[in-house]
Amino acid sequence: MGAIARAAANNITTSGVFTSSAIANSSVTGITVLANASDGITFISSQTASNSASISFTSGLDSTYKAYKFVFVNMNPATDSIDFTFNLSTDSGSNYNVTKTTTIFVAGHHEADTATELDYVPSWDLAQGTGEQIIGSSIGNGADESCSGTLTLFNPSSTTYVKHFICTSNWYRTDNASFNTYVAGYGNTTSAINAIRFKASSGNIDGTFYLYGIK
């Protein structure tokens, strides 16, 4: 038996488990900290909205990753029955007015089981529009009401292609119903996208927002 094989065998119990002496950062047989490479997602930053007019990420969007994921958790509006929206910027947040073409549909179910919905909503989509993109509508402002979801932005630093995005959110509508929204589209610009803003159509918001890079 070679020296390497003997060393490995000496660090294995009779039940086939590595002993504590096998744990060392200098060898494959003993890793004390596992990197998050297996899931391919790297945390970049987070922000907490506390009665805030909006939440903007003006750093962290660069050429490091080909895709970026934003996660918003329990966005609770101060004003009842508002739209939750986002917009993009090519000038680090000086202006949020990127031209967008989008499509959107929703699925809904009322608490009382009195109605269900599955609709394409043309009034919420944009056709070469620069305004805010709706990702949740008529969201309630009760203490237990909110909107949560994810938005993925693909290759925002490209200067060749338009900027695709996909957003999925679930929100508590003001009339006591759960609504799941699917939004997709593209920012019709070959300039790099380097900032994004989330806001309500009226009033301030609470909630937590996270930014991740996808390897």
For residues 94 and 25, membership in a common domain is answered with no
First to last CA, the chain: 41
For residues 63 and 75, membership in a common domain is answered with yes
- Give per-residue pLDDT as tens, 149-201: 999 999 999 999 999 999 999 999 999 999 999 999 999 999 999 999 999 99
For residues 4 and 98, membership in a common domain is answered with no
Structural domain count of the chain: 2
- Residue 31 — pLDDT band, cuts 50, 70, 90? very low
Q: Which domain holds residue 48?
A: 35-214
For residues 26 and 41, membership in a common domain is answered with no
d(CA 160, CA 8): 52
pLDDT score recorded for residue 13? 72
For residues 9 and 107, membership in a common domain is answered with no
For residues 2 and 95, membership in a common domain is answered with no
For residues 121 and 182, membership in a common domain is answered with yes
For residues 103 and 15, membership in a common domain is answered with no
Q: Are 147 and 171 in contact (CB under 8 A)?
A: yes
For residues 23 and 112, membership in a common domain is answered with no
- Give per-residue pLDDT as tens, 105-137: 999 999 999 999 999 999 999 999 999 999 999
For residues 90 and 52, membership in a common domain is answered with yes
Q: What is the CATH number of the domain that holds 40?
A: 2.60.120
Mean pLDDT along residues 21-40? 54
For residues 28 and 48, membership in a common domain is answered with no
**DSSP at 201:** S
Q: Are 114 and 177 in contact (CB under 8 A)?
A: no
Q: Which two tokens stand for residue 34?
A: 């596992």
Burial profile 36-70: b = 16 or more Cβ within 10 angstroms, e = fewer: eeeeeeeebeeeebeebeebbbeebbeeebebbbb
For residues 168 and 196, membership in a common domain is answered with yes
State the burial class of residue 170 (Cβ atoms within 10 Å of its Cβ: 0-12, 13-18, 19+): middle
